């Protein structure tokens, strides 16, 4: 029983630690890319406007992030699509 509780508590500590590391990584990537959080939010809003013309998307679950690897920065977008709009 104690082993189970220890594993449960340990995994939540790792999860919190991993989340904090990910947040810090995102802040550093934003700083290195010289892209303010406000500009990233504007980009996200414009993506929603454009994509909404062609498909129904889950705006609440949409994620837009920057990822830095080596000397490049990538824009990573996770956009849940509910339905594609068909034009007649």
- Residue 53 phi/psi, 5° resolution? -70, -30
- Give me the pLDDT at residue 20, please: 78
Confidence of residue 1 (pLDDT cuts 50, 70, 90): very low
Does the pTM surpass 0.85? The reply is no
Give me the residue spans of the domains in the chain.
Answer: 2-84
For residues 69-75, give the mean pLDDT.
77
pLDDT over threshold 50, residue 5: no
Give the torsion through C-alpha atoms of 35, 40, 43, 44, to 10 deg. Answer: 160
**3-class secondary-structure state, position 71:** coil
DSSP-assigned states of every residue in 14-70: HHHHHHHHHHHHHHHHHHHTT--HHHHHHHHHHHHHHHHTTEEE-TTT-EEEEEEET
pLDDT digits (tens, 9 = 90+) for 22-64: 777 666 665 666 667 788 788 888 988 999 999 999 988 888 8
Mean pLDDT, the chain, rounded, equals: 76
């Amino acid at each position: 029983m104690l082993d189970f509780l220890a594993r449960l508590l340990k995994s939540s500590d790792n999860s919190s630690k991993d989340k904090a590391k990910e947040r810090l990584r995102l802040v550093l990537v934003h700083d290195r890319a010289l892209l303010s959080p406000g500009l990233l939010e504007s980009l996200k809003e414009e993506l929603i406007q454009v994509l909404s013309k062609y498909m129904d998307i889950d705006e609440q679950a949409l994620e837009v992030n920057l990822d830095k690897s080596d000397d490049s920065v990538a824009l990573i977008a996770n956009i849940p699509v509910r339905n594609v709009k068909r034009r007649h």
